[in-house]
Amino acid sequence: MEFDEKRLEVINRIVEEKGEEAIETLLSLMEKNEDDGELILIVTETIMRMGSRATGSLLEYLNKNKQQFNENPRDYKEQAYRITLLAVIDMVGELGSPQDIGLLESFLALFDEEQAHLIIYEAIAKMGGGAKYLELLELFAFEDDFVHELISQVIMTLSYIEEPRALFDLLKISQFDWLDTNQKVMVENALRRLLHIHREYYEMLEKDPYGQKMLKRLLGDA
């Protein structure tokens, strides 16, 4: 469904009138329109513009859902608003802190889809907890039958894991000859991010034959 100006005006008016208190209303709007990707996107962007002021409401939403899940898992699984939950988890990944990692992990049992798990792993990685999932990410990247569908999310998640192992996983992924142009750019940007944070990684890549070639490309010498 095309997102029109009238709907945008309604969302903006809700925020102007209620401020952070509008988040509950906006999340309810998302729940009622889970098949409307553009609405989900615009609501998410609206909440993200509130920055850290939105964190408390987002965590409250997740804690409320966690309690419902724990009290009656079977019924909750049938009724859960999965797309809204993943959107909130993604936002908490951006705005939350390491102490929120356990809360995000509690929702892994709700989802059966690998893509959903990867979204949660990325949010956890953004908060510094991604290293424990490296082995799973490597299974997705190097052994999963659906690697073509999952690789973009794997790349994004690895980019937030500040470990040499993640660096060399990205280097290995960069050698996949089937990556499309956007995915190649994603890998290079992920490598740049890790190199910017950890200058010592330059030396590690210099010692690897393919790493040397990648460094030349990243530095613009190729």
User: pLDDT, tens digit, for every residue of 55-87?
Assistant: 999 999 999 999 999 999 999 999 999 999 999
Residue 198 gets which letter from DSSP? -
What's this model's pTM, rounded to 2 decimal places? 0.91
Q: Which residues contact 166 (CB under 8 A, 6 or more apart)?
A: 130, 131, 134, 158, 159, 194
Cβ 111 vs Cβ 82: under 8 Å: yes
Copy the structure tokens of residue 214: 């990648």
User: By mean pLDDT, which of 18-27, 114-123, 191-200 is the weakest?
Assistant: 18-27
Side-chain half-sphere CA neighbours of 1 within 13 A: 13
Cβ 44 vs Cβ 51: under 8 Å: no
Q: Which H/E stretch holds residue 105? A: helix 101-105
pLDDT for residue 4: 64
